[in-house]
Structure 1
Amino acid sequence: MDKLDVGWIKCNFDGAWIQQDLRGGFGAVIQDHRGEFIAAIDSSIGRTRSAFHAELFAARQVTLWPKLPFGKSIIFECDSSLVLAAVKGQDEDYSLLGPIINDLHYLLQSFPLLLLNHEQQGSNSAEHRLDLVGIGSNQQLLWSFSCGTLFSLRPG
């Protein structure tokens, strides 16, 4: 990860989809401006219509993630140019996945300084592995560092 300015954090996220089972999962990793680990999450999405659906769901879930420090400058990074185009759009979306896109438009307004970046597919293997674990999981897995290492499981 390139060094960020002090005060910025980066949240890499990824969605995954298994077409045969119509199941999805997602993973996300938060790092501080030095590239130090803050927290990670993965979870199953359940019934998912497409890879685009899984990626959009992942984006929405990370904007709702309580580990994101509100009031901080944040970079959201994903490998889906379709998700970034949908999120950067200004108009209300009336497509089948429009409710998720419209939620994202609203939720992203809560971040005072925000960048949305595209990363090459496979450039962040940590969140990619997390989203694959999430597909098969029936629990939400959370990792974070605060007063040492904490690992917690919450039913999904």
Structure 2
Amino acid sequence: MWTICNRIYTSNILKRVLLRNLHKQPIKVSWKKPEIGWKKLNFDGSCKCKTGNASIGGVVRDHNAEFLLGYAESIGKTNSTIAEFAALRRGLELVLENGYSNSDIWVEGDYMTLVEIISLKKDVKCVEVQKHVSCINLMLPEFRNCLVTHVYRQGNRVADKFAQIGHRLKQPQIWHVPPGEVVGVMNEDANGKVVFRMR
């Protein structure tokens, strides 16, 4: 008797969840070009759950969605939070090293907590995260203007591809010409392709 009641109860819950989700419209997500004179840095960290191996990656593009540089690197064993902060830190270092310090920079990632910590100057308890945040906060004033925003993963696909490449690398790598495996997604971004995200 209990099993039958339990099945009916579970079935009713599933029906309610399905009905609730049927009424929710998917979110349209796309990568946005920066304004003229701005550079845009998209970054991403990746962590393999089974092994704990992490990597970082990112891409810098201009107002025409032209590729300026990309980077990827394996960073050993850590968690996804540290990987996200390491990805942003390395991206900012490369932007400065490549002479864009006099530019306006738009920094965008898909990890909301990081965006809130940097843009709202929130305190963090983790010592390793604090180190990354301190370095990032020292670099941001080097730019004429800086905007830090969140985008859903579907709008951060090129950075994600670079982070995935990072898992395969033995040495850090920087590109000034995009590798073939990111070109297709870059073209989709440049053309404003919309990717749907379920709520």
Residues 68, 138 of structure 1: alpha-carbon distance in 2 compared, 3 angstrom cutoff: farther
Aligned to 2:72: 42
Q: Aligned equivalents of 1:27 and 1:83: distance in 2? A: 15
**Which amino acid is the alignment partner of residue 77 of structure 1?**
E
- With normalisation by structure 2, the TM-score equals 0.67
Q: What 5-or-longer segments of structure 1 have no aligned partner?
A: 151-156
Cα pair 1:55 1:80 within 8 Å, conserved: yes
Give the aligned partner of residue 13 of structure 1. Answer: 43
Equivalenced residue count is: 146
Which letter does structure 2 place at the counterpart of 1:36? E
Counterpart code for 1:71? N
Q: Distance in 1 between matches of 2:110 and 2:99?
A: 20
Question: 3-state SS of the aligned residue for 1:54?
Answer: helix
Mapped to 2, the partners of 1:139 and 1:90 lie a distance apart of 32
> Partner residue of 2:165?
133
Task: Please state if 1:60 is matched with 2:95.
Answer: no
What is the match of residue 119 of structure 2? 88
Structure (1 or 2) with the greater strand fraction: 1
Larger helix proportion of the pair: 2
Alpha-carbon offset, residue 98 of structure 1: 1.2
TM score, norm. by length of structure 1: 0.84
In structure 2, distance between residues paired with 1:45 and 1:106: 22
- Could you tell me how far apart the structure 2 residues matched to 1:12 and 1:22 are? 23
Percent of aligned pairs with the same amino acid: 23
Structure 2: runs of 5 or more not aligned: 1-30, 180-199
